[in-house]
Amino acid sequence: MQRVMVLGGYGFFGRRICAALARNPRVQLLIAGRDVKKATELAYELGLRAENARAIDATHPQFATHLRKLGVTTLIHTAGPFQGQNHAVAQAAIQAASNYLDLADGRAFVGGITRLDAAAKAANVAVLSGVSSVPALSTAVVDRYLPEFSRLDAVRICISSGAVMPGLATLRAVLGYCGQPFRVLENGQWTVVHGWLDRIDHEFPKPVGPRPLGRCDVPDLDLLPKRYPTLRTASFHAGFASNTAHGVVEKIAARVRDGKLKSALPFARALYTIARWLQPLISDRGGMFVTMEGVDPDGDALTLDWHLNARENHGPNIPCAPSIALINKMVAGQMPPPGAYPCMGVLGVEEILEPLKGLSIREIAPANARNLE
């Protein structure tokens, strides 16, 4: 039995995780956040009781004490944005002898979690960051197909959303690096690019179709070259279901890059409001792909394309799946190793996709892989 607290449990991603965990009889779920009314409403909606809802302020000096008194065995942190956030929540979990998972996509945040490794090991708890689409799912895909290559040269990851707009905090995270410079590995050299520029157009398998995509700053840009030493290129692009929306963000990014705007953040609330208005008019389909390039064991060039398509606005469930899958493993007695580290090599693709069964989400494996599972 695990007593699992979802911090930000009534938020955009948190409520999806809570809905899944509420169906697991081995999980005692606590829906936590500053607004106990919202937490209680979700608890009733999920068939739980008022005591499953908790008013929790993670910035409170006694947060670790609260976790300990509540007997929390695992804390899931969904309250972003994680860009610019410190690791105080994870530190509190360690002090409370609680395991910790988060859905962070902040490059510095996820990569920096290892500074808590010694403390986590001393407390005998697992502290995993990036238990989400990146790097948990993205590296699970690469790990699955790595045996197909004698040398892996490039990994290219892209995500395109559907119509459903995530919370304002998520949009602020996206706009935080809009037009801002960051480093990527390209053709063996570290080079500077700018957020939401360097547009590419990708043809996702039907029914998603063509989508525009721009550069995004994610943990994988640092983590992939470390995990796969032969890599010469590691890239990540993302985009919106609406070409118009993508074009607007692209224009703002160009103005930030050129110094005409300091930041795109002042546009966050207006863009969020407009996107919510237009949601009924935008495609309910989204997708993710991972492309791997290199050399096969026979010395021939090899490219593998893996896709995950979503319909009916079910795409936002994908970044929630790794944390659900990991809790399912933990309650089954398969605990991740103690320590603090990015979520890589902990979950397989099949394990991550298991919580998505029954949703309008379809995996399209590369047809030219030699050893299809």
Of 367, 341, 346, whose CA–CA distance to 145 is shortest? 367
Q: CATH for 2-133+317-355, among 3.40.50.720, 3.40.50.80, 3.40.50.300, 3.20.20.140? A: 3.40.50.720
- Report the pLDDT value the prediction gives residue 244, as an integer from 0 to 100: 85
- Report the pLDDT value the prediction gives residue 372, as an integer from 0 to 100: 54
- The domain ranges of the chain are 2-133+317-355, 134-315+357-364
User: Rounded CA gap, 365 and 362, in Å?
Assistant: 10
User: Mean per-residue pLDDT for 294-319?
Assistant: 96
3-state secondary structure 13-46: CHHHHHHHHCCCCCEEEEEEECCHHHHHHHHHHC
Beta strands per DSSP E along 296-348: 301-310, 339-342
Residue 263 pLDDT exceeds 80: yes
Residue 344 and residue 136 in contact, taking contact as beta carbons nearer than 8 Å: yes
- Report the pLDDT value the prediction gives residue 241, as an integer from 0 to 100: 83
- Report the pLDDT value the prediction gives residue 371, as an integer from 0 to 100: 65
User: Mean per-residue pLDDT for 17-31?
Assistant: 97
Residue 311 and residue 207 in contact, taking contact as beta carbons nearer than 8 Å: yes
User: Mean per-residue pLDDT for 99-107?
Assistant: 96
> Which ranges in the chain belong to alpha helices (H)?
14-21, 36-45, 63-70, 88-95, 107-111, 117-123, 138-145, 168-176, 220-227, 243-257, 268-278, 321-331, 349-353
Residue 330 pLDDT exceeds 70: yes
User: Rounded CA gap, 25 and 139, in Å?
Assistant: 30
What digits encode the pLDDT tens for the residues 124-141?
Answer: 999 999 999 999 999 999
Task: Give the contacts of 274 (CB within 8 A, at least 6 positions apart).
Answer: none
User: Mean per-residue pLDDT for 328-343?
Assistant: 97
User: Mean per-residue pLDDT for 212-231?
Assistant: 97
* pLDDT band at 181; cut points 50, 70, 90: very high
- Report the pLDDT value the prediction gives residue 300, as an integer from 0 to 100: 96
Beta bridge partners of 291: 156, 305
Identify the weakest region by mean pLDDT among 222-236, 262-276, 352-366.
Answer: 262-276
User: Rounded CA gap, 139 and 349, in Å?
Assistant: 9
User: Mean per-residue pLDDT for 142-170?
Assistant: 90
Kind of pairing, strands 151-160 and 181-186?
Answer: unpaired
Residue 84 pLDDT exceeds 90: no
- Report the pLDDT value the prediction gives residue 168, as an integer from 0 to 100: 80
Q: Does domain 134-315+357-364 have CATH number 3.30.1330.100?
A: no
Mean pLDDT over all residues of the chain? 94
Percent of the chain at pLDDT above 70? 99
